[in-house]
Amino acid sequence: MKDFVVWLDSKSAHVFAMKTSGIEKTIVNKDEKDHHRRHRNDMRSDSNSEHYYRDLTKALEGADHLLLMGPGFAKIHFKEHLATHAAHTLANKIIGIENLESFEHKTEKQMMAAAHKFFKTYDLFHQPI
């Protein structure tokens, strides 16, 4: 079983693959070259976001469960991207979306503690009877 915790904002995604052998970390960065093309009020209109979300989708291949975390709307926009581009695969793997403050204000240990707490609760309520 492969559970993934993804902390993302509009600039980068920190992907944690929770495996029996340990946690593998990958960082997916949004290319900043065309950042100025973004429309002021709509992050989804940024053509770079499409590439960013596509790269992030590739990093999540093989996931059984996805927990999306982060401070703003990027996690919601990514969920919408998956609903459009991976409706029958990764979109169905999302088990939660959690608001979590900026990565700069959280240590990885604090973030993993929040993720473990979520999965513990999730497992408690989703075990077969």
What would the pLDDT profile of 47-65 be if each residue is shown by its tens digit?
678 999 999 999 999 899 9
- Rounded to the nearest angstrom, the gap between the alpha carbon of residue 31 and the centroid of all alpha carbons in its chain is 17
pLDDT band at 80 (very low <50, low <70, confident <90, very high): very high
- For residue range 89-112, what is the model confidence (pLDDT) as tens digits? 999 999 999 887 765 556 778 777
pLDDT by residue (tens digit) across 5-20? Answer: 999 999 999 999 988 8
Whether pLDDT at 127 is above 60: no
37 falls within a domain: no
Question: Which tokens hold the place of 4?
Answer: 């993934």
81 located within any domain:
yes
Cβ(69)–Cβ(111) under 8 Å? yes
Check: CB of residue 70 under 8 Å from CB of residue 9.
yes
Position 88 in a domain: yes
Alpha-helical (H) ranges within the chain are: 47-59, 74-85, 108-125
Count of residues making up the chain: 129
pLDDT bin (cut points 50, 70, 90) of residue 125 is low
Whole-model pTM: value is 0.76
pLDDT of residue 33: 54
Residue 116 counted as domain residue: yes
36 in any annotated domain: no
Residue 39 has pLDDT above 90, yes or no: no
* 72 found inside a domain: yes
* CA distances (Å), origin 39, targets 44, 58, 77, 81, 112: 9, 26, 15, 18, 33
- Which carries the bigger pLDDT value, residue 125 or residue 118? 118
Q: Is the residue at 65 inside a domain?
A: yes
Structural domain for 7, as ranges: 3-31+43-125
Return mean pLDDT, the chain: 81
- Residue 112: partners with Cβ closer than 8 Å, 6 or more residues away: 5, 16, 23
Considering its fold, how many domains does the chain have in total?
A: 1
Q: Does 102 fall in a domain?
A: yes
CATH, residue 113: 3.30.420.60
The neighbour count for residue 59, using CB atoms within 10 Å, is: 15
- Bridge partner list, 26: 15
